Homo-oligomer: A and B are copies of this chain.
Amino acid sequence: MADKEPLFARVALIGIGLIGSSLARAIRSKGLAGEIVVQTRRAETLRRAEELGLGDRYEADATEAVKGADLVVLSIPVGACGAVAAEIGPHLQKGAILTDVGSTKGTVVSDVAPYVPEGVHFIPGHPIAGTEHSGPDAGFASLFEGRWTILTPPPGADPAAITKLTEFWTACGSKVDTMDPDHHDRVLAIVSHLPHIIAYNIVGTADDLEAVSKSEVIKYSASGFRDFTRLAASDPTMWRDVCLSNRDAILEMLGRFSEDLASLQRAIRWGDGDKLFDMFTRTRAVRRSIIEAGQEVDAPDFGRHPEIARIKAEDGD
C-alpha cells in the first residue's frame, strides 16, 4: 500500500456513525486516502472516534474539516444535509467531490445542490448496507463488501468524478449502480423504508396489548416477532428523516401494502384456504433469488443457532 498513490489526498468524513466509521475503517484498511479527517458536532462522539483511532485529524467544525479535502462524505441524517451544505459550501476545494450516504436522494439533491459551488462535483450516493447499531463503535471495515452502492449523479456531472467515486466504493468492497434520484427513492421505499416502518409498527402494536403481557411477547419472540425487532431497533433520528423526506414514495408503498393486507385479511375471514396457500407459496421464490444473488446468508434462521453458526464459520462461509 505504502508505495501506491492513494485515491484521495484528503478525505473529510462529516459524521462518524455506523456508516461514517465503517468508511473510516475501510479507507484505512485499503489505503484509499493520504489523510482522513473526522468531523462530528458532538464532543463526546468526536472523542470516541479519536479513542478508536478512526482518523488522522479530528475537527468539531465542519468548515475546518473540509478545507483542502478532495473527497467530502456526508454521513449524517438526511434531514441535516441541507444545513451542513450551507455551512461547508464556501469552504469546499475546487475540484473536490462532495457525496453523501443518505437513504433518500430526492430531498438531498434539492437541499444540498444550491450550496455546491462551481467546480465542486456533487455526486449523491447511498451504500445499501447497515446494521441495527449506530455510533462510531458500530462500524466495521467489511460493512460494504458484496453490497451495492447507488450513485445518483445529476445531469451533466463530470464523468471523471463519477469514475473516481465509483472506484472508491469498489475499493471499499461495494458494487456500484447509478440511477436517477426519483427512481432510487421509489426502489428504497419498497426494499427498505416500508420494511422498517412495518417493523416499527408491529413492535408498537405488540407493546400495546392488554391481553398479552410484554414478558410473553419477549419469551416467545423466537417464533417470528424477533425478526422484526432488529429493524425496529434502528436509529430513530435517521428513520424520522427518511419518512419526512421520502413521503410520497412511502405513502404509495404503504397504500399498496394495506390494500394487499386487506385482501389477505378477507381470505382469512372467509376461510379461503386455496388463496392463502397460493399467496404463501409465491413468496418462497423471492427468498431463493436473494440467497442466490449473495444478498443473504443461507443458514437456517439466519444462522442464529450456535451449533449451525459455528459449522458455517469453520467452513469459512
**Could you tell me which A residues sit within 8 Å of B by CB distance?**
103, 128-133, 138, 140, 142-143, 147-148, 150, 177, 183, 186-188, 190-209, 211-212, 214, 216-234, 236-237, 239-240, 243-244, 247, 250-251, 253-254, 256-258, 260-262, 264-265, 267-269, 271, 273, 276-277, 279-284, 286-290, 293, 295-297, 300-310, 312-314, 316-317
Contact = CB atoms under 8 A, between A and B. Distances in A.
23 contacts: A128-B219, A132-B300, A140-B307, A148-B219, A148-B222, A177-B219, A187-B216, A187-B220, A190-B212, A191-B223, A195-B202, A195-B227, A198-B202, A198-B261, A207-B282, A209-B256, A218-B293, A221-B295, A226-B287, A232-B286, A243-B276, A244-B273, A309-B312
Given A190-B205, A276-B244, A282-B207, A290 B129 contact: no
Nearest to A177: B219
Given A201-B260, A295-B221, A290 B251 contact: no
Contacts of A239: 276, 280
A104 to B, nearest CB: 12
B295 A219 contact: yes
A227 B218 contact: no
Contact of A218 (B130, B250, B295): B295
A220 B148 contact: yes
Nearest to A265: B254
Given A228-B227, A313-B309, A283 B200 contact: yes
B230 A227 contact: yes
Contacts of A309: 303, 309, 312-313
A240 B296 contact: no
A70 B35 CA distance: 73
B300 A302 contact: no
Given A277-B240, A317-B306, A190 B207 contact: no
A143 B200 CA distance: 28
B253 A205 contact: yes
A228 B202 CA distance: 13
Contacts of A226: 287, 290, 295-296
Contacts of A204: 260, 264, 279, 282-283
Contacts of A302: 230, 302-304
Contact of A283 (B148, B207, B254, B284): B207
